[in-house]
Structure 1
Amino acid sequence: MSLSASDLTELMELWEELNLTAADHGNLSRVETLLCSGGGGSGSAPAVGHGAFLRVLSVLYAFIFLVGLAANAPVVWVNLRRDGARYETHLYVLNLAVADLCVVATLPVWVTSLLLGGRWPFGDAACKLTHLVFSVNLFGSIFFLACMSVDRYLSVALLGDSPDSRRGRKAARRLTCALVWLLALAASVPDTYFLQAAKSSHHDGAVCRAVYPQDNPREWMAAVQLSFTALGFAVPFPVIAVSYALLAAAIPPGSDRERSVSRRIVLTYIVVFVACWLPFHAVLLLDTLTLLGAVPFSCRLEGFLDVALHLTQCLSLLHCCINPVLYSFLNRSYRYHLMKAFLFKYSTKTGLARLLLPGEPASDTEYSAAAATDASVNEGAELKDERGRS
């Protein structure tokens, strides 16, 4: 269904009011100064039905919520049950899973708002708190991926495995995790400060939206979007890419097949991060340049940006569902602990253990021996576990 000028204006404001991320704001001020025709030609709005688009977004976010919850909850549970030695080597994985779990846990609130046509029935405090939880954990998820890439390279290539070295790395990991959460909080506070449950000008009820200072709202919006791109992609992506590239070059000698598998795994980490986040940040940067006047405004561009921002944001949130697969489920050690925690009695009786983990012990005595051995393996062996799955 083609949108009229009033429909487009309402849709732009709804996206601004939903404010699903620190960068997710509408461009109502520009639409109000240049009413876009709903007809054809270069000034036409995209032929997207308002209600249908809201429903599609609701379904996508509901899907991400269900998959993210099912994938990340077992990772958190299994890592918390591990003994002290293994807990330390998987501290980043645990924090990553907690962050991803908290991100997807906020999605039902946003879905409720979408199904209500953008209305926010939860009040001002919930508006700020829900967005803060979402933003802190989204930044945290990205930062932990960067920290994990650096840690893996240092563990395999540079650091020794003496007791003093292991103790130093444990302390460094704890401190790094604390600093990551503080940095994620600091990155999220400025935009959250401007959020409020404000009255909508297009329908009854309140909406959760950022209200920037009236003298320069565009500059504030552009600054927030640029900071999100810088902290969410421009800084962490080079860290991830360089660290894993160095790790691929430093993989210990082995068979050609083992090295090939290991390098494919490392390449997958980089490709998945780019595939999930680059489209969103590219569209966001284009929107920021339009806000600053560096790119000429048009109604067609406005309609494209509005739809593209939300669809690419859904793509970026899929990373919360993919992370546990890449960093946990592909690891034979994790699969062993998962089976030990959830399926031990059933799997040992039916042979499921040997089916899922070829070569792993299947008896109770063998499981205990494997656990004792596994706890003494150094951090560099984690990559070998991943290679061994094939």
Structure 2
Amino acid sequence: MVNFTENATEKCNINHDIHQTLSPVIYIFVFILGLPANCLSLYYGYLQIKAKNELGIYLCNLTVADLLYIFSLPFWLQYVLQHDNWTYDELLCKICGILLYENIYISVGFLCCISIDRYLAVVHPFRFQCFRTMKAAVIVSIVIWTKEIITCCFVFTHAEVSMDADSHVVCFEHYPIKKWEHNVNYYRFSAGFLFPFFLLAFSYCGILRVVHKSHGTQKKKKIQIKRLVSSTVLIFLVCFGPYHILLVIRSLLENNCSFAEKIFNIYHVSLLLTTFNCVADPVLYCFSSESTYQNFAKMRDSCLTCLGCLRTETKESYPLNPPESPNRPRHEQQPDDGTERKDSCTANMGSL
């Protein structure tokens, strides 16, 4: 049973229908697709760490942040299906809310780390080596987690459950927005979105300049890198841009229930967009890698072999010791895994 002190705020009569229609579909979709995708992403990060590649530390931390939020989705699903009525205690509400915000801002932090790491690897492959070590990656990861945990501790000083006009106990929702949330939202917009976006854009603009000038990179590979970089920036803007813009709008204009009722649906659509980040991260930063595709193909073929479903003829470029071709040279059965060496400038372009 929820134990809370009713907040001194208006009880806005807001239509929560979007939570019973769109939200459950998104939560189920992200959970079903995001859980296996992030587990594979975690495995890829482990392979990178095993190969002494600092990129693996950032990928693992990014994936852990996504998985923590994915594990909280069943609670949010039950919440919205019960017409926004939180039936657990306030502590669990705060934990689930923190996991939501941790996913957003820790993901943003490690996306920036990955983009800067790729920038240094491609644009300055022989400089700043001290920033591209396992030790440096661990220190940066600790700093990011510590910063976000300290920020979220601020949440525990405020009540995060309240009762709405329908006598439902709502979690992490205040309408109209409270005074103490204004400065927090401005901080989230500037430090959690705007500054990281400039870092991301600067890093990838530098990468694109080098790729464009490179004569040793194939045209097909250049197109692939450009598409990946453009997709990364686009997904960053789509997943996080609308939400943070609406945070600022709410902080500036939401002073009464009338405005809160008007902005409720679009605000929650933008919040749902941030959830897609859990699916976009592993797709962009892991499965776009050629070496990861090879590892994934090997894993898949191994599973099919165990099930006795592997066909005699396959279109895969990297089969895992198929029994139908025992005389195949070993160098064709065991291709070079791109994770076994540190990136040079050209190799880093291919691993973006």
Q: Into which bin does the TM-score normalised by the smaller protein fall?
A: 0.7 to 0.9
User: Match of 1:350, as an amino acid?
Assistant: R
Code of the aligned partner of 2:304: Y
- For residue 90 of structure 1, what is the aligned residue in structure 2? 56
What's the C-alpha RMSD, in Å, of the aligned pairs? 3.4
TM superposition shift of 1:307: 0.8
In structure 1, C-alpha distance between the alignment counterparts of 2:227 and 2:118, rounded to whole Å: 16
Moved more, 176-185 or 236-245: 176-185
Whole-angstrom CA distance in 2 between matches of 1:30 and 1:126: 24
Give yes or no for the alignment of 1:261 onto 2:224. Answer: yes
Asked if the contact 1:197/1:206 (under 8 Å) is kept, the reply is yes
**Is 1:126 aligned to residue 92 of structure 2?**
yes
8 A contact 2:130–2:136 mirrored in 1:
no
Q: 1:271 aligns with which of 211, 230, 234?
A: 234
Gaps of 5+ in 2: 323-329
Code of the aligned partner of 1:323: D
8 Å CA contact 2:289, 2:351 repeated in 1: yes
User: Which residue, 184, 200, 203 being the options, matches 1:243?
Assistant: 203
Change in CA separation of 1:98 and 1:157 when aligned onto 2, cut-off 3 Å: same
Asked if the contact 1:276–1:315 (Cα under 8 Å) also holds between the matched residues in 2, the reply is yes
- Relative to 1, partners in 2 of residues 1:350 and 1:28: Cα closer, same or farther, differing over 3 Å? farther
Query: Aligned partners of 2:220, 2:49: CA distance in 1, in Å?
Result: 32
Show CA shifts across 1:219-270 (max 9, x none): 3121122122223211111110111111111224323443233222212211
Kept in 2, the 8 Å contact 1:136–1:187? The answer is no
Which stretch shifts more, 364-373 or 377-386?
Answer: 364-373
Per the TM alignment, residue 310 of structure 1 is displaced from its structure 2 partner at its CA by 0.1
Q: Aligned residue for 2:341?
A: 376
Residue number in structure 1 paired with 2:144: 180
User: Please, which of 96, 110, 117 is the counterpart of residue 144 of structure 1?
Assistant: 110
What's the offset of the Cα at 1:130?
A: 2.0
- Quote the residue 2:263 is aligned against: 305
| Sequence identity percentage | 21
| Aligned residue number for residue 245 of structure 2 | 282
Q: Normalization by structure 2: what TM-score?
A: 0.81
1:372–1:307: structure 2 CA closer, same or farther, 3 Å change rule?
Answer: closer
Distance in 2 between the 1:182 and 1:307 partners? 33
Following TM superposition, by how much is the alpha carbon of 1:345 offset from its aligned partner in structure 2, in angstroms? 6.1
* Pair 74,118 (structure 1): closer, same or farther in 2 beyond 3 Å: same
Alignment gaps of 5+ in structure 1: 1-16, 18-26, 37-44
Distance 2:131 2:111 in 1: 22
Cα pair distance change 1:167/1:245, threshold 3 Å? closer
* Greater relative contact order, per chain length (Cα 8 Å cut-off, separation 6+): 2
Letter aligned with residue 231 of structure 2: T
Q: Return the offset for 1:138.
A: 2.4
- On the 8 A contact 1:89/1:379 being kept in 2, the answer is no
Q: How does 1:211-222 map to 2 (within 5 A)?
A: 218-222=178-182
Mapped partners of 2:88, 2:275: distance in 1 = 23
